[in-house]
Amino acid sequence: MSMIDRLLVRAGTRGAQRALGWASLGGLAGTAVLGLYVVPPDAEQGDVQRLMYVHVPAAWLAFLSFTVVFVASVAYLRTGRIRWDRVAVASAEAGVLFCALTLVLGSLWGRPVWGTWWTWDPRLTTTVVLLLVYVGYLSLRNVADSPTRRAHWSAVVGVVGFVDVPIVHMSVVWWRSLHQEATVIRPGAPTMDPSMLATLLFGTLAFSLAYGYLMAVRLRVGRLEDHAASTVMSQPSPRARAPRPVHPVGGGPRG
């Protein structure tokens, strides 16, 4: 068994799931306390800026989730091993959740700052396209008529759909946008108050733990689904299992 196989098996155990669940719950609670009560309000936006401590981590985890889908899809196309398809679909489901959460939190943040819930800003538009691509990825899995074809089609979409991830990230640089440019991942030192930066990084860690928990649960469910499907396929049909009638020697029943 390879190292990746061992890691996937260990991540799917109940003990690992329990540990990740409690750790992510504690991290999310800590993020809420730090973001609401510890760090100061923004000098320009005031208290509404506190949404950053959940909005930005959700966006980063959406990028991470879809990156994992891309890597797992490439691995499946190269090896044909079904475990990579399980990893890809688990990460795609988590990514759709984080991407949708990013859009909702962004709307809540944009209403008091921009004066509107929604605008067809380049970053918002490309993020909606990203969400639709991976919703389509999950929908496609219900269309294929065999597990192999489903995994292959999904892997192709997982590779092609990843093209939109760098487009979303670079949209504020390539086009005029209401969004500000990156303040953490940029040349030079981050232009943020140290306490705000620490809270943002802590929130990212908390969301990462939540992602790990969702992945562990989904991978375990995926293995159970595959095992149930293989068990059903290996069982003989009811007609094959039915016993043949035994006729008495000398003809039919006697009255």
Cα–Cα distance measured from residue 24 to residue 97, given in angstroms and rounded to the nearest whole number: 16
**111 touches 48 (CB < 8 A):** no
For 191, half-sphere exposure in the C-beta direction (CA atoms, 13 angstrom radius) is 7
pLDDT band (50, 70, 90) for residue 210: very high
Sign of the alpha-carbon torsion through 187, 189, 192, 194: positive
Nearest to 212 by CA among 7, 36, 50: 7
pLDDT band (50, 70, 90) for residue 255: very low
Cα–Cα distance measured from residue 66 to residue 40, given in angstroms and rounded to the nearest whole number: 33
* pTM of the predicted model as reported, rounded to 2 decimal places: 0.82
All domains of the chain in start order, with CATH: 3-40+48-181+195-225 (1.20.120)
Cα–Cα distance measured from residue 57 to residue 9, given in angstroms and rounded to the nearest whole number: 27
Write out the two tokens for 84. 């990579």
> By mean pLDDT, which of 11-15, 76-80, 93-97, 174-178 is the weakest?
11-15
What pLDDT score does 192 carry? 75
Q: Give whichever of 34-48, 50-64, 139-153, 237-251 has the largest mean pLDDT.
A: 50-64
pLDDT at 1 > cutoff 50: no
What pLDDT score does 194 carry? 87
Mean pLDDT of 188-204: 83
| CA distances (Å), origin 212, targets 20, 33, 63, 134, 225 | 7, 22, 14, 19, 20
pLDDT at 84 > cutoff 80: yes
